[in-house]
């Protein structure tokens, strides 16, 4: 991984104003184009803000930065910055190099959904950082969030579509990421894009045209497996005390 530290020296009494500017303009543009914010801090005197960003490698960092400055949101950022006036004295960037691994290795968990409508069309998205391919909507689980809740939230945020999930169609291990695909049905909502998705739509997929939409090899088996319509049960529960939160019976469902 490649890490970049940004340090802003803030003008007196400008911290809250700069934070609002960051969350409304700077952060969404970075996220939509593929950057990951590791954390953001301010000093005790509130005269500096430090942000650390993560990228897959230096080459990807350069590509992401190029997309950021070309994005329409960057133009709005510059306009708003001119209207707000000066909020910080200066900003510097530093490349950070890890000196070792100081955490217990773990898998990141991501979920995606093969969601169909009443015409048997499949819900697909095209993100800002993977414009070469369509893919199933989804994302990473927050701490303490069940996988089904994660997927319903991510699909609604990315596409505006509300879904009913049926079960799990496949589990895929990709390096340090565990990807779980659910089958589901559209039950409402209206198609809309988001800060992450450039295009969304229901597409009539079949075995002869799937390669025209799904361009990346790791996504193709997940979609092909889900197209078979087979899924296994899924349960979410909590402990101390035990409580069943959700269960999908997969192909055992009668409704």
Catalytic residues: 199
* Crossing angle (nearest 10°) for helices 58-70 and 72-84: 70
Residue 255 structure tokens:
């409704």
Contact yes or no for 147/109 (Cβ under 8 A): yes
CA distance 120 to 185: 9
In a 13 Å sphere around the CA of 198, the CA atoms on its Cβ side amount to: 18
- What pairs with residue 7 in β-bridges? 50, 92
For residue 35, the Cα-to-chain-centroid distance in whole angstroms is 10
Instruction: Cite the DSSP H helix spans in the chain.
Output: 15-21, 27-32, 58-70, 72-84, 147-159, 210-213, 220-227
Give the three-state DSSP class for 96: strand
Query: Phi, psi at residue 220, to the nearest 5°?
Result: -60, -50
Residue 157 structure tokens:
């945020």
CA distance 92 to 30: 17
CA distances 198 to 3, 6, 82, 193, 194, Å, are 26, 27, 27, 6, 7
- What pairs with residue 127 in β-bridges? 197
CA distance 125 to 145: 23
């Amino acid at each position: 991984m490649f890490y970049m530290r940004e340090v802003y020296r803030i003008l007196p009494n400008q911290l809250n104003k700069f934070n609002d500017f960051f969350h409304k303009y700077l952060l969404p543009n970075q996220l939509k184009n593929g950057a990951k914010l590791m954390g953001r801090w301010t000093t005790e005197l509130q005269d500096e803000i430090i942000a650390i960003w993560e990228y897959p490698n230096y080459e990807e960092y350069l590509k992401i930065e190029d997309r950021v400055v070309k994005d329409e949101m960057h133009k709005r950022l510059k306009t708003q910055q001119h209207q707000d006036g000066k909020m910080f004295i200066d900003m510097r960037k530093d490349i950070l190099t890890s000196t070792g691994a100081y955490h217990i290795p773990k898998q990141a968990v991501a979920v995606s959904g093969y969601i169909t409508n009443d015409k048997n069309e499949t819900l697909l998205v095209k993100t800002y950082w993977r414009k070469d391919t369509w893919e199933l909507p989804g994302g990473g689980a927050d701490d303490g969030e069940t996988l089904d809740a994660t997927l319903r939230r991510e699909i609604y945020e990315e596409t505006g579509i509300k879904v009913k999930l049926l079960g799990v169609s496949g589990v895929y291990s990709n390096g340090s990421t565990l990807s779980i695909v659910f089958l589901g049905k559209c039950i409402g909502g209206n198609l809309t894009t988001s800060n992450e998705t450039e295009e969304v739509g229901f597409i009539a997929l079949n075995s002869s045209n799937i390669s025209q939409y799904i361009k990346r090899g790791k996504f193709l088996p997940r979609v092909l497996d889900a197209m078979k319509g087979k899924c296994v049960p899924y349960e979410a529960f909590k402990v101390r005390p035990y409580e069943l939160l959700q269960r999908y019976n997969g192909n055992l469902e009668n409704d």
